[in-house]
Amino acid sequence: MEVLKVSSKSDPNKVAGAIAGVVREHGRAEIQAIGAGAVNQAVKAIAIARGYLAPSGIDLVFVPAFTDVEIENEKRTAIKFIVFPKS
């Protein structure tokens, strides 16, 4: 499963659609964000995705975690969100 990367310029509605599609197909999604603006867009997208999936009886929850990523040979700390249906 690929990681959905979110930036501060990402459209939360489009990211929400991607989250909903990945959760429907794979049962969970992983989102990665670097920086406060990107984290804000990611959280908004998760909230919107909950609305998209609620009519299907899927209630989403997420777990945040830190992860190290390398961008242009530079180590950065990102926040990843693991999104999955509440059991």
- 69 touches 32 (CB < 8 A): yes
Q: What CATH number does residue 70 fall under? A: 3.30.110.20
Count of domains forming the chain: 1
Instruction: State which residues form the domain around 27.
Output: 1-83
What average pLDDT score do residues 57-79 get?
95
Asked if pLDDT for residue 1 goes beyond 90, the answer is no
What average pLDDT score do residues 72-81 get?
96
**What type of residue sits at position 53?**
L
pTM for this prediction = 0.94
Three-state secondary structure call for residue 37: helix
- Exposure of 1 by Cβ count < 10 A (0-12 exposed, 13-18 middle, 19+ buried)? exposed
Please tell me the predicted confidence (pLDDT) of residue 32: 97
Please tell me the predicted confidence (pLDDT) of residue 3: 93
- 3 touches 31 (CB < 8 A): yes
Torsions phi, psi for 72 (to 5 deg): 50, 50
Please tell me the predicted confidence (pLDDT) of residue 83: 97
